[in-house]
Structure 1
């Protein structure tokens, strides 16, 4: 039954995230909101909603290691698993001044967690600071869009308001149910096998909540749209740290187990620096590098339980 809960949770998160983004973008288009603002807010928050609901559910449910592992593990999976798989399908080549800004914000957000984790808790003050930083980043990105402004032709047509509302409500319901099933099932499995809650959060839960990003990046790779695949991962990593962790900590302060500071966070930072270096210093991330990133992710999973 626990495995059924996990499976139902993963399906709910995947379908709910897709429905939420469809409805949000359709409604935003109907309201004549600019493509840039849609990309920065509606789609960005929409694809991060699974992480938010799972982390809040876990924190309120008394399993903070799952909440924290979800954020850190998702960021590691986004780089090593999603970018690795995407590059394996089609080499990734992206450049531009905006890329330098966004990768810089991603790395800065990861580094900001060092002093926060060192305190032993992500408290409400730290959560508020993270959310404030996210608001500042969104304003900065909106006022200085750079060279990555999405084209009207890349967005879906406006959607009738009733249909968009149905997508929105259905997506939120699926996400909430999926989050509950995933957390309950994952924690039960961890207890049955003697696995730590942190390990479950860093692996099963983290990959599960990253399914929308994985699907988006793989489809983008198949369509030869490297910028979408990269932007999806970088944006998700920024939202996970500043938005998801920040909001969760404001709702319920999160104790930080020592392993996150000495093991998982350094790997997350290293993955962020690796992606930044590859994007800024190489013309493309090819299939060989993609395979190596996947191997690195498998190695991390195998060592995470220890």
Structure 2
């Protein structure tokens, strides 16, 4: 059974990676064919498409009653984006940066993290909280669009990432086929990954949160990691910064917001007592790294990777750090999960 579960999870990861990449290229191709400006494509189409693996997996987990995997996926993905993706990019090639152009997006990432943490400790999150987070995302996109019109910063970062990995299709029909194929691959991949991850968690005797924070989070971050590696290898390291900031903001506001709208969610005591604080620490560590100096060097990259390896190691340690008592209790979590649990 465990071997089958690993095959399911592995197949799901492959389909998510392929589906995300195919959907991204198709979406950009369609947008260009319909005359959308690079500005709008960079701010919306690319950002949504690159967040689709996380979104589909999280919503699939929510529908199946495994909200711990969904929340763990977002928390783990954001930690991976900062520590792993930035670390690997800087290790391959020092990341050049322009702090003034990053300030707004860094502030929004920190703010979105703070909002999520505040809501998580308040108890069960539901429709109202989800609507608030989606509204914050819309406000951020509108402010970004206005700033881009005034030349505030570069909205083409996402498009540069596409160009690094491969050109978008020029044919409308090819682009449409890619979009449909990408959606199908994402749906099938998310189903396989969640099913396999649940079986692995039960067989290994670890919680669904741990699987969400590690295996699922790493898998849904593969597209961003691949793009960052290719961009860094070609010397376009600024793409990694844009991807990390945009992905973390969308993960928190779009994906968690959508999950809260879909079903009531209470963050597990395990995540509240330890992992959410690692997310906060990683986010705060990233701020001075992004804002101070003109580049992030290989030493910083190596430290970030070491911190990520330590985080993963701790997840599977028998003596994981003690969990603080959250405001929402375990019975509240079971009630929230039972809303959508089959049977």
Q: Which of the five TM-score ranges fits, normalised by the shorter chain? A: over 0.9
Give matches, 1:1-306, under 5 Å.
Answer: 1-145=4-148, 146-150=152-156, 154=160, 156=167, 159-305=170-316, 306=320
* Structure 1 runs of 4+ with >4 Å offset: 151-158
- The 3 A distance-change label for structure 1 pair 95 and 143 is same
- The 3 A distance-change label for structure 1 pair 45 and 293 is same
1:59–1:252 contact (8 Å) kept in structure 2: yes
Q: State the shift of 1:114 in Å.
A: 2.0
* Greater mean deviation of Cα atoms: 281-290 or 235-244: 281-290
For residues 38 and 142 of structure 2, what CA distance do their matches in structure 1 show?
A: 15
What is the RMSD computed on CA atoms of the aligned residues?
A: 1.5
**Structure 1 counterpart of 2:341:** none
Q: State the shift of 1:243 in Å.
A: 0.3
- The 3 A distance-change label for structure 1 pair 158 and 197 is closer
For residues 235 and 286 of structure 2, what CA distance do their matches in structure 1 show?
A: 19
Name which one, 1 or 2, has greater alpha-carbon Rg: 2
TM-score by length of 2: 0.86
Q: State the shift of 1:157 in Å.
A: 6.1
Q: State the shift of 1:158 in Å.
A: 6.1
Unpaired segments ≥5 residues, structure 1: none
SS class of match (2:196): helix
- The 3 A distance-change label for structure 1 pair 151 and 255 is closer
Cα shift readout 1:42-88 (whole Å, capped 9, x = no counterpart): 11010100000100111111111101000000000000011111111
2:42–2:158 contact (8 Å) kept in structure 1: no
